Amino acid sequence: MKTIEALFEVRNARSRAFADYEPGEVAFITNGLTNNGVLGFVKPESRDRVFRAPSLVVSAFCEATVHLPPFVARGNGGSGLIVLVPRTAMTSGQLAYYAACINEALRWRFSWSRQANAERIRNLTLPDSAPKDAEFPVLAAMPTISRKSPRTHWTPRLRRVGLAIPCSTCDRATTTN
Please give the Cα distance from 70 to 84 (Å, whole number).
14
Give the total residue count for the chain: 177
Residue spans of the domains in the chain: they are 2-176
Which architecture does CATH list for 2-176? Alpha-Beta Complex (3.90)
In a structure prediction context, what are the per-residue pLDDT tens digits for the chain, which is 177 residues long?
999 999 999 998 888 888 899 999 999 998 877 788 888 899 999 988 999 999 999 988 888 899 999 999 986 655 678 999 999 999 888 998 899 888 888 877 777 778 888 898 999 999 988 888 777 666 565 555 555 544 443 444 444 444 445 555 555 544 444
Identify each DSSP E strand in 52-102 by its residue range: 55-58, 64-67, 71-73, 82-86
Q: How many CB atoms lie within 10 A of CB 66?
A: 24
Please give the Cα distance from 118 to 149 (Å, whole number).
35
Please give the Cα distance from 30 to 5 (Å, whole number).
22
End-to-end, the C-alpha distance of the chain in Å comes to: 28
pTM of the model: 0.76
Burial 148-157 (b: 16+ CB within 10 A, else e): eeebeebeee
